[in-house]
């Protein structure tokens, strides 16, 4: 009887179901099928037999044993976490800092102009940013080396010096997304009631004290939530950035090879699908747990800010 009622409800809403069908199919094909495809990490993949028809590995965890015996895999996991942590911390300083500075600016026109200029890089692709970086950093005609030589020093070969790249990549991200990142903070700051600042300045508080004791505490919930959500994605590197900035420059891999680029190379270049799928499986599972945990924590801080 109950299923009968459900069937009737579905029949009555068949137009709605039909309207949902395209999205349902697309999500099934491009999200749910790959999810089911995670089993490939336990299989001896064969292109002819496909993901689901391939034989199971003997022993089942063979791909993982292989993965854990590889130094490159460990290096990629370490780089992913360390670089993302670096990006999160520096990003926080830049974004909150710029938002505070913009908020203190008196000249409205100048403030709007600065916002427009700093937001601009967000709209171009990492490929283009890669070209910009090349302009600045290349050995013969790069702007940085021209400057270094003008100062009387030897030019620096950036593209073979891995130690510099955590810094270069951090700067590239900051250049591209700082303006974008400040928008949310700036919105939080403009919603602060002006009477707080007025009362503080009557009491003789300096600008710095007003920032320290009014603006920053007002930003705290936003800072905590955005940081938590970023930590939830710490296992996922921005493939576009790494591939466009570093590409195939293997000299730089010791500090720049991350899980996503490692998986890409194993899949498309060396054809090592067992290794790639085991690394991808680990990444998916850990990322899922982290997303749930960070979202749970964000919900604790502020119910409305969690994704779900």
Partner 1 sequence: MAKRFSISQTVIVTAVTLFSLACLFPFLMVISGSLSTEKDIMNFGYSIWPKHITFDSYKILLLGSNRILDAYVISIIVTVVGTALSLFVTSMGAYVMARRSFKYRNILSVYVIVTMLFNGGLVPWYIICVNYLHLKDTLWALILPPLANAFNMFLIRNFMLSIPEDLHESAKMDGAGELRIYSRLIMPLALPVLATVGLFVALGYWNDWFLGLMFVDKQELQPLQLLLRTLISNVEFLKSSSNAAAMQRISAQIPSESIKMALTVITIGPIIFLYPFLQRYFVKGLMVGAVKG
* Residues 202-231 contacting partner 1, CB under 8 A: 207
Between 146 and 212, CB nearer to partner 1: 146
Between 83 and 188, CB nearer to partner 1: 188
* Closest approach of partner 1 to the CB of residue 109, in Å: 12
- Torsion sign (Cα): 276, 281, 284, 286: negative
CB 301 within 8 A of CB 225: yes
* Closest approach of partner 1 to the CB of residue 137, in Å: 11
Does 98 sit near partner 1 (CB under 8 A)? Answer: yes
Q: Which of 197, 240, 299, 301 binds partner 1 (CB under 8 A)?
A: 240
- Site residues for partner 1, 178-207, by CB under 8 A, read 178-179, 183-184, 187, 207
Does 31 sit near partner 1 (CB under 8 A)? Answer: yes
The packing angle between helices 165-190 and 71-104, to 10°, is 40
Between 118 and 256, CB nearer to partner 1: 118
Q: Which of 58, 108, 268, 269 binds partner 1 (CB under 8 A)?
A: 268
Between 165 and 243, CB nearer to partner 1: 243
Does 93 sit near partner 1 (CB under 8 A)? Answer: no
* Closest approach of partner 1 to the CB of residue 40, in Å: 6
- Torsion sign (Cα): 239, 166, 176, 299: positive
Q: Which of 76, 258, 273, 294 binds partner 1 (CB under 8 A)?
A: 273
Q: Which of 10, 60, 199, 251 binds partner 1 (CB under 8 A)?
A: 10
For residue 256, give every residue at least 6 positions away whose Cβ sits within 8 Å of its Cβ, in sequence order, or none: 79, 83, 162, 165, 166, 169, 242, 245, 246
* Closest approach of partner 1 to the CB of residue 41, in Å: 8
CB 142 within 8 A of CB 135: yes
Q: Which of 17, 60, 85, 199 binds partner 1 (CB under 8 A)?
A: 17
C-alpha 218/C-alpha 197 separation (Å) is 12
Total residues contacting partner 1 by CB under 8 A comes to 93
C-alpha 104/C-alpha 229 separation (Å) is 28
Between 13 and 161, CB nearer to partner 1: 13
Spell out, one character per residue from 110 to 129, where the chain touches partner 1: x when CB under 8 A holds, - when not.
Answer: x--xx-xxxxxx-xxx-xx-
């Amino acid at each position: 009887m109950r299923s009968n009622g459900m069937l009737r409800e579905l029949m009555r809403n068949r137009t709605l179901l039909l309207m949902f069908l395209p999205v349902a199919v697309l999500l099934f094909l491009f999200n749910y099928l790959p999810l089911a495809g995670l089993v490939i990490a336990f299989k001896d993949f064969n292109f002819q037999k496909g993901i689901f028809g391939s034989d199971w590995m003997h022993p089942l965890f063979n791909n993982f044993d292989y993965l854990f015996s590889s130094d490159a895999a460990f290096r990629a996991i370490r780089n992913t976490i360390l670089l993302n942590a670096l990006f999160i911390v520096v990003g926080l300083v830049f974004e909150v800092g710029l938002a505070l500075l913009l908020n203190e600016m008196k000249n409205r026109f100048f403030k709007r102009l600065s916002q427009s200029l700093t937001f601009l890089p967000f709209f171009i692709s990492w490929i283009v940013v890669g070209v910009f970086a090349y302009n600045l950093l290349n050995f013969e005609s790069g702007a940085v080396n021209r400057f270094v030589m003008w100062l009387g020093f030897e030019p620096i070969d950036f593209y073979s010096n891995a130690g510099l790249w955590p810094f270069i990549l951090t700067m590239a991200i900051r250049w591209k997304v700082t303006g974008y990142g400040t928008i949310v903070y700036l919105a939080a700051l403009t919603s602060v009631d002006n009477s707080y600042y007025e009362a503080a300045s009557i009491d003789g508080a300096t600008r710095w004290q007003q920032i320290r004791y009014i603006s920053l505490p007002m930003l705290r919930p936003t800072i905590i939530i955005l940081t938590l959500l970023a930590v939830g994605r710490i296992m996922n590197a921005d493939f576009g950035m790494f591939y466009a900035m570093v590409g195939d420059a293997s000299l730089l891999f010791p500090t720049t090879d991350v899980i996503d680029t490692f998986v890409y190379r194993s899949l498309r270049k060396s054809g090592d699908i067992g290794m790639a799928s085991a690394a991808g499986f680990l990444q998916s599972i850990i990322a899922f747990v982290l997303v749930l945990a960070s979202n749970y924590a964000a919900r604790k801080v502020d119910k409305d800010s969690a994704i779900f």
